[in-house]
Amino acid sequence: MPTASIPGHRGRFITLEGGEGAGKSTQLRRLAETLREALRARGLELVTTREPGGSPGAEEIRGLLVTGETGRWSPVTEALLHTAARRDHLERTVWPALEAGNWVLCDRFFDSTMAYQGYGLGLGRELVETLQTAALGGFRPDLTLILDIDVETGLRRAVARHGGEDRYERMDIGFHQRLRDGFLDIARREPERCAVVDADADLDTVQARIRDAVAGRLGLELTP
């Protein structure tokens, strides 16, 4: 199975994670600009993508997950839908890019399924881990940046966006607290892969924290 970490493979896979309103999408765009400049000097390209989505089939599934009533799916069904979208995304977008030597920067990946469905909706770790093993095998990101923010602050930011894909934002405050706790527990369990970034600051400060984490973990020289 393809992996971003096999010896001699130039590609790297970086994921951004976090709860609602943590600023992932904005920071991903900023990080992409910085990374593209650094990688271009090495003759490498950067692919940006997202989950759920990132391939035509996965984007169709995305619409089922991020819109509509909060209780439209059972937790198990949600986890299965996310996993199906992820497998298609990997086969059609992520793995081909990595095999070509490109770097891939992704807005959410399997940690979101663990945090949202495993912790937030109470499925537990075991079932989600089983699903991820079936879909991914041993494939893992080279680096996962978890943007951490106070739940109420994040939700205020999320509501201010006035986006239509707000199904998860409308879930109760207990769900969002479990979600945050879940991401932090994931980081504690896998400190070699995960870096927690304090996202409760202005955009430039958070960007600098992310840039430092990427440079330090992956040995890149990144200029502001």
Convert the pLDDT of each residue in 173-199 to its tens digit: 999 999 999 999 999 999 999 999 999
Binding residues for ATP: 18-25
C-alpha span between 178 and 10 (Å, rounded): 37
Give the range among 73-77, 140-144, 218-222 with minimum mean pLDDT.
218-222
Q: What is the pLDDT of residues 13-32, one digit of tens each?
A: 999 999 988 889 899 999 99
Asked whether the predicted pLDDT for residue 83 surpasses 70, the reply is yes
Tell me which of 218 and 81 has the higher pLDDT: 81
Count other Cβ atoms within 10 Å, centred on residue 69: 8
pTM: 0.91
Helix (H), strand (E) at residue 111: helix 110-113
Tell me which of 1 and 214 has the higher pLDDT: 214
Q: If DSSP codes are grouped into helix, strand and coil, which group holds residue 220? A: coil
Looking at 28-74, which runs of residues are DSSP E strands? Answer: 46-50
pLDDT at position 163, please? 65
Q: If DSSP codes are grouped into helix, strand and coil, which group holds residue 36? A: helix
Give the range among 9-13, 22-26, 55-59, 210-214 with minimum mean pLDDT.
9-13
Say if residues 141 and 94 touch (Cβ distance below 8 Å).
no
Mean pLDDT of 86-115: 95
pLDDT band for position 4 (50/70/90)?
Answer: very low
Say if residues 108 and 14 touch (Cβ distance below 8 Å).
no
pLDDT band for position 1 (50/70/90)?
Answer: very low
Cα-to-chain-centroid distance, residue 148:
13
Omega prior to 52 cis, within 30 of 0: yes
Question: In the chain, what are the helix, strand and coil shares in percent, each to the nearest 5?
Answer: 55, 10, 35
What number does CATH give the domain 13-217? 3.40.50.300
Binding residues: 18-25
DSSP code, position 48? E
Across all residues in the chain, what is the average pLDDT?
A: 90
